Amino acid sequence: MTLSRTVGALALAAGVCAAPAVQAQELTLWSHWADQTAKVEFVESAARAFEQANPGVTIKINWYQKEPLYAALKTALTAGQGPDIFYAEPNQTEYMENGLVLDLKSKLDWNNIEPWAIKVWGYEDGVYGFPLEAWTVETYVNLALAEKAGVEIPVEGVEGAAFVDAVKKIAAAGITPMAQGVADRPYPGAFLTHEILVKKLGVDDYASLLKGGDVKWTDPRVREALDYAKQIIDAGAFPPSISSIKLGEAHRYFHTSPGAVMLQMGSFYPSRAFASPDEGGQPKDFRLSISNGPVPEGAACPKCKTIAVGGSFVVNAASEHADLAAAFLNSMATPEMGNKWLEANLVQTGIKADPSQITGDKAAYLQMLQAANEGASYTFGIPVQQMQGNPREVFTQTVNQAFPSGIIGVDEVIDMMNGAY
C-alpha cells in the first residue's frame, strides 16, 4: 500500500471512531382518534418535533377507531409484541395487572402533570399512564331553545324542585329537555344520576359508595338522590328513544334536529360539535352556554362534579425502546404543550396548562368551560372507571340504561346495586 493510501485509510478510520453514525431507531405508536383531526395533528406535530430534536429517531403512528384498536392490541400484546406506545384509558387495569405496561413514575416530569391525573393513573406503587386528555361532565345549554321554553339555566345550576319544574315547563312547550343516548356507550345515561349522587354525598362518601365501602346503596341519602333523579326522568327529561340513540346522535339531537334545551356530556363535546355542520357539527350561529348540573336539596357538596382522565398513552413493557418512548411522552409534558392541546382540542388535559393565556376565537369557549368549573371539587373518574367487575356491569345495565329509560325505579336500582357487591 502506498503512503498516501495508508494515511487516507488511517484518517478514514479515525473519522469513523470520532463521529460514529447515529443508529436509526423507530418508535411505533398506536392510537384511537382516527377521525378527530385536532388530536391527530397535535400528536403528529409532537412526533415531528421529537424527531427533529433526536436525529435518527422516527415515530410511526397508526390511527384507529377505538374498538378496532383494542382488538389489534389484544392480539399483539398476547403474542408479546405490539407497539412501543399505545392509547389506553385508566379503567383498563388489566394492563397493569398483567405487567403489560411500564411504570412511568421515575420517567416523566410529574411537576408538569396535574396531581389528580397522577392519582387516576396510579396502580399499587407505580404510575402507568401519560394523561393527555381529561374531561369533566358538563350540562350544555341550547340558549335559543331555553328562551323559547321560557326557562333560564344559569352557570351555577338549578337546585331542587326548581330544576324538575324547569324540565316540566320545557316538555310542556313541546321541546325535549335533555338530549341523551345510551345505545353505544356504557356511561352517558348515568351522567344525570351520578352527578346528583356526588353532590348529595360529597366526594369521599361517593367514592365509598362506588367502591363498596362503608356507604351502601341502602343509605337514606342515596335513596334521596335517586328519588330526585327519578323525578327529573319522570318529568320527561329524556327522549323516548334514549335507548336507541348513540352518543354522536345525541349531539346532533341537541344542537340541530330536533333540538333540546340541555345535553349532559363530557367536555369532549367540541370534538364533534365544533366540526363543520355538514360533518355533524353544530350550526355556525348556535348559541351555547355551560351550566352546573341539577343540585339536589341538602347537597353535601353543591359544586362537586366528575373529572375523568380519558385518552392517555402507556409504554409497552416489552418495548426495546422503553426509555426513548418515555422520553417522547415527556416531551409533551410541558405547559406550552398543555396550552397547545387546549387551544387545538378545547378539552382539558392532565398536562398543567394556563387557559388564560389563550386568545382568539376559541378563548370564549374555554373561558365558559373554566367558569363552569370555578370552585369545583372533583371526583376522579366516571363510575365505570372507579368501579370494577360485577358492580360495574350492573351499574351499566341499571343506572346507565334501564333507569334513565324509565324501565326500572329507585327500589330496583338499590336492590340490584346492593346485590352487585
**One-character DSSP codes across 37-64:** HHHHHHHHHHHHHHHHHSTTEEEEEEE-
CA-CA-CA-CA torsion sign (33, 37, 39, 44) = positive
What is the largest distance, in Å, between two alpha-carbon atoms of the chain? Answer: 102
Rounded to whole angstroms, the Cα distance separating 180 from 241 reads: 9
* Whether pLDDT at 132 is above 80: yes
The residue type of 41 is E
pLDDT in tens, 347-403: 999 999 988 788 877 889 999 999 999 999 999 999 988 898 999 999 999 999 999
Task: Give the pLDDT of residue 360.
Answer: 78
Phi, psi of 393 (to 5 degrees): -65, -45
Superfamily name with CATH number, domain 136-308+366-420: Periplasmic binding protein-like II (3.40.190.10)
C-alpha distance from residue 335 to each of 109, 232, 312 (Å): 11, 41, 17
Task: Give the pLDDT of residue 145.
Answer: 98
* Whether pLDDT at 5 is above 80: no
Task: Give the pLDDT of residue 215.
Answer: 98
Tell me if 142 sits within 8 A of 148, measured CB to CB: no
Same fold across 23-133+310-353 and 136-308+366-420: yes
Q: Does domain 23-133+310-353 have CATH number 3.40.50.180?
A: no
pLDDT in tens, 9-50: 333 333 333 333 346 899 999 999 998 888 999 999 999 999
Task: Give the pLDDT of residue 24.
Answer: 85
Residues near 61 by beta carbon (within 8 Å), at least 6 away in sequence = 28, 29, 30, 31, 43, 44, 47
pLDDT in tens, 137-188: 999 999 999 999 999 999 999 999 999 999 999 999 999 999 999 999 999 9
Tell me if 55 sits within 8 A of 111, measured CB to CB: no
Cα radius of gyration (the chain): 25
- Ordered by start, the domain boundaries in the chain are 23-133+310-353, 136-308+366-420
CA-CA-CA-CA torsion sign (215, 267, 113, 70) = positive
Pairwise pLDDT comparison (421 vs 19), residue with the higher score: 421
